[in-house]
Structure 1
Amino acid sequence: MIGSNEGGQALAKPSSPLKIAVFASGNGSNFQALAEAVKAGKIHASLELVVCDKPSAYVLERARSFEVETYAFSPKQYASREAYEEEIVAKLQAKGIDLVVMAGYMRLVTHVLVEPYYGRMINVHPALLPAFPGMNGALQALEYGAKIAGATVHFVDGGTDTGPIIAQQAVAIQEDDTLETLSSRIQQVEYELLPKVVGWMAEGRITLNGRKVTITQ
C-alpha cells in the first residue's frame, strides 16, 4: 500500500494493482480518461469506487458503464462535513482503497478524510497553482489577463488547492480565447496529466518530502 511520507522515501510500489477511488461531482470526463487508461492496461490499477455528492451527476452513469461501484450521497442529509466523511472513510477502508483521486469533486474536505489518506489523495485543478486556486480557474486566468493557464495535479492537504504539487502542464492563452475554448484545451491537458500521475503512483515513482515532490525515472 502506498502511504504518506514525511521522510523522503519513495511511496511504495504495490505488488497488486493499486486500488483507486475517484471522487467527482459532475460530468466525470476526467474519470472517463482515467478509466480508459486503466482498461487499456496503461496503469497497474483497478478502479474500485466512484464517490459522488450529487446523486444525479453523469459521472455515475460513466462509472456504471465501466462496471465500477458507485457511492452517491446528499450532503444536506448530514449534520456536518465530518459526518458524511466518516461514512465515506469507512467505505474506503472496507474496500482497501490505496489512492483517492479527486477529479472534479466540488467540496472542501476536512481532517476526517485528509488525515488517513494524506499522501494517498490527489486532485486535478484547471490552473497553474499556486495561481488561481478554488473555483473557475480558467475564468480567473482570463479575467486576470494571464498569458499562460494550465493544469496541476497535487496532493490534497485540506486547504483550497494548497497541497504539494506533483505535476503541471501549461496552456497558452490566445488573444481570441473564450472561457469555452480555453477550458476545452485545459481539459485535454487534464485528460493526459491525471492518468500519467496515477501511473507514476502505481509504479512507486513519487517521493513526497514536506512540500517537495520528486518523480524518479
Structure 2
Amino acid sequence: MAPTCRILVMASGNGSNFQAIIDAVADGRIPNSTIVQLVVNRGKAYATTRADNSNIPWEYFNLIAHGFQAKTDKDPESIQQARNKYDAALAKKILESNQRPDLIVLAGWMYIFGEHFLEPISKEGIKIINLHPALPGKYDGANAIERAYDDFQAGKLEGNKTGIMVHYVIKEVDAGEPLMTREIEIQKGETLDQVKERIHAIEHQLIVKATARVSQEILASKAQ
C-alpha cells in the first residue's frame, strides 16, 4: 500500500483556502494525501461547516474559551504565560492524537505560535507551512493587503507590486523560508475590495501547489 501524507489544517474563519485544499486532495492535485483533521480557534469559523461537508473531523481549541487566558487579563507577562501554556497544550494534543499529521498547513490561522508550539512539533519532524498575502520581507503580520494598498495609494509601493507567499513557519512572524511566491501588480483605479478578491483567488492556487510540493517531499522521504 502506497504511503500517504497526513495533513492537519488550521483555520480561523471562512476557510476558503481550506476548501481549496479539500478539493485538491479529492481530485488528485495533492496526490497520495489525506486531511486528517481541522483545528479552529474561533467558535463560529465557517471552516467547520466545510469540514462537516467533507466528513473531516475538527476541533475547536481557543486560548480564552479553554481557560488558558482570562478575557479581562491585561498583564503582558500573564498573557505571555497563557499563550505559552496554550501553545504547549495544542502541540501535545496534536502529537498524542491518533490523527497525528506529517504536515500542518496554516490556512487563514489568525494566531501567532511561539516556541512552545513550534519546537515540539519541529522536534518530531512535522513540517508547518503558512500562507501570507505579501512578498518575503514585506508587510509581515496582520492587515498585509490593506497596508500594501495604502502604500500604493500614497505612491510608495515599489513597482505597484505586492504579492503572496507560502513559507515555512518559524518563531519570527512571516519570516520563514519561502516555498512559493507570486507577484501581483495593483492596477490604477482598483479598489481595496477588488485587490483582495484578486489576491484571494490566487491564494487558493498557491496554497494548493505549495501543499502538494511539501507533501510529495514528505512521501519521498517516507519511501527511502
Give the TM-score normalised by the residue count of structure 2.
0.81
Shift of 1:192: 0.5
Shift of 1:136: 1.2
CA distance in 1, matches of 2:84, 2:6: 24
Note if 1:100 corresponds to 2:104.
Answer: yes
Note if 1:133 corresponds to 2:135.
Answer: no
Which residue does the alignment assign to 2:74? none
Q: Deviations over 1:159-216 (max 9, x none)?
A: 111111111011110111111110111111110011111111121189xxxxxxxxxx
Alignment match of 1:23 (pick from 2, 6, 10):
10
- RMSD of aligned C-alpha atoms? 1.6
Alignment match of 1:60 (pick from 23, 36, 48):
48
Which residue does the alignment assign to 2:118? 114
| Structure 2: stretches of 5+ with no match in the other structure | 70-81, 220-224
Aligned residues: 192
User: Quick check: which has more Rg, 1 or 2?
Assistant: 2
Note if 1:78 corresponds to 2:77.
Answer: no
Shift of 1:74: 2.5
Alignment match of 2:37 (pick from 40, 49, 54):
49
Is the Cα contact below 8 Å between 1:100 and 1:117 reproduced in 2?
no
Which residue does the alignment assign to 1:152? 165
CA distance in 1, matches of 2:46, 2:145: 22
Is the Cα contact below 8 Å between 2:91 and 2:121 reproduced in 1?
no
CA distance in 2, matches of 1:46, 1:19: 5
CA distance in 2, matches of 1:185, 1:166: 21
CA distance in 2, matches of 1:202, 1:21: 12
Alignment match of 2:91 (pick from 89, 99, 120):
89
Alignment match of 1:35 (pick from 10, 18, 22):
22
Please, which moves more after superposition, 82-91 or 160-169? 82-91
Identity over aligned residues, as a percent?
30
Shift of 1:75: 1.1
More helix by share: 2
Give the aligned residue type for 1:81. Answer: R
Consecutive aligned runs of 4 or more in structure 1 exceeding 6 Å deviation: none
CA distance in 2, matches of 1:84, 1:71: 14
Note if 1:142 corresponds to 2:149.
Answer: yes
Is the Cα contact below 8 Å between 1:50 and 1:69 reproduced in 2?
yes
Shift of 1:32: 0.4
More strand by share: 1
Give the TM-score normalised by the residue count of structure 1.
0.84
Note if 1:191 corresponds to 2:204.
Answer: yes
Q: Deviations over 1:2-31 (max 9, x none)?
A: xxxxxxxxxxxxx52111111111110000
- Give secondary structure in 2 for the equivalent of 1:197: helix
